[in-house]
Amino acid sequence: MTLHNQAKLNPSTVPGFIIGGHRCGTTLLRYLIDTHQDIACPPESKFLSGLQEFLDFPQMLQALADMGLSRTELLAKLRYFSNSIFEDYVTKKQKRRWIDKTPNYANILPFIDELYCGQASYIIISRHPLDCVDSLNTYFRASRNHEDPEIAKMRSKHGLGKLACAHYWAETYQRIRVFAASCPQRAHYVKYEDLVQSPTTEMKKVFSFLGEIMPEGLLERVFHQQHDLGYGDKKIRSSKAISHARIDKWKTWPNSEVQALWEVVASSAKYFRYESPELH
């Protein structure tokens, strides 16, 4: 499918993905979307990354071609497999459609788009890079569970601390930025700061992008409705309301540290509408 006819797609019938880095609000957005009576938004599914690794397995494509199976035919089989997992989940939840939320998928967006024939929708959520750095540094440094491959990769490549987290944010959102530029009609941007301060306004935009209407009372139900547990921010399980208390925590840092870290994230930060910090 080419870009010129993407606008003809019915957004309420195509696959959807929440895209963003770790600690950038993806779990909150997942809870909000999952509260909709017609949309199932499961815990992080992870398995699409495994499908790409399968597709990239050395010599596999040539071997299957020798057996008469083309890449296009193989992708169709993988798409059928992927859809069956998500659609079974939708059926169990007695809903109509699904939206996935898996931060690791920021690394395989071209594969996902090829898998879904250039028809998927993407809700891209960003968070101020320095607040994300603060959260990443606190959450993953304190946690004993480092099985997530992206966090393991970050530690292997950049070590520990705020600098490593800044590199993670910059690299992740650079990938997202480049991918989204290839399908602008199918990408919707949400800033975490806007979401927590004006949730009604932002969620109406999200649901409109998805071809849906925001139900009355959704915000009141979001933390009272059961959401399946799984990979994601475990702290949200004890939340009672949307809070904006985690905004601008970086403003307590020394100016010199803010300046040094901003140099790492500045390029993508500007693209995602974050201005250079005013120093005190």
pLDDT mean over 77-83: 96
Within a domain: residue 160?
no
Q: What is the pTM of this model?
A: 0.92
- End-to-end CA separation in angstroms for the chain: 50
Within a domain: residue 193?
yes
* One-letter identity of residue 113: D
Within a domain: residue 147?
no
Within a domain: residue 226?
yes
Within a domain: residue 250?
no
**pLDDT higher than threshold 70 for residue 147:** yes
Would you say the C-alpha torsion 244, 239, 253, 264 has a positive or negative sign? Answer: negative
Give yes or no for a contact between 24 and 198, defined as CB atoms under 8 angstroms apart: no
Which residue range forms the structural domain that includes residue 212?
3-128+176-242
pLDDT mean over 209-230: 96
Q: How does 3-39 read in b/e, with b if 16+ C-beta sit within 10 Å?
A: eeebeebebeebbbbbbbbbbbbbbbbbbbbbbbeeb
- Binned at pLDDT 50, 70 and 90, residue 116 comes out as very high
Number of domains in the chain: 1
pLDDT mean over 122-136: 97
Within a domain: residue 165?
no
The pLDDT value given to residue 14:
87
DSSP character at residue 40: E
Coil vs helix vs strand at 101: strand
Within a domain: residue 267?
no
The pLDDT value given to residue 139:
81
Within a domain: residue 275?
no
Tokens of 159: 């070590």
How distant, in Å, are the alpha carbons of 28, 110, 116, 192 from that of 240? 12, 37, 36, 18
Q: For 161-203, how does the pLDDT look when each residue is reduced to its tens digit (9 = 90+)?
A: 999 999 999 999 999 999 999 999 999 999 999 999 999 999 9
CATH at residue 211: 3.40.50.300
Contact partners, residue 150, CB within 8 Å, separation at least 6: 22, 103, 104, 107, 168
Euclidean distance between CA atoms 29 and 25, whole angstroms: 6
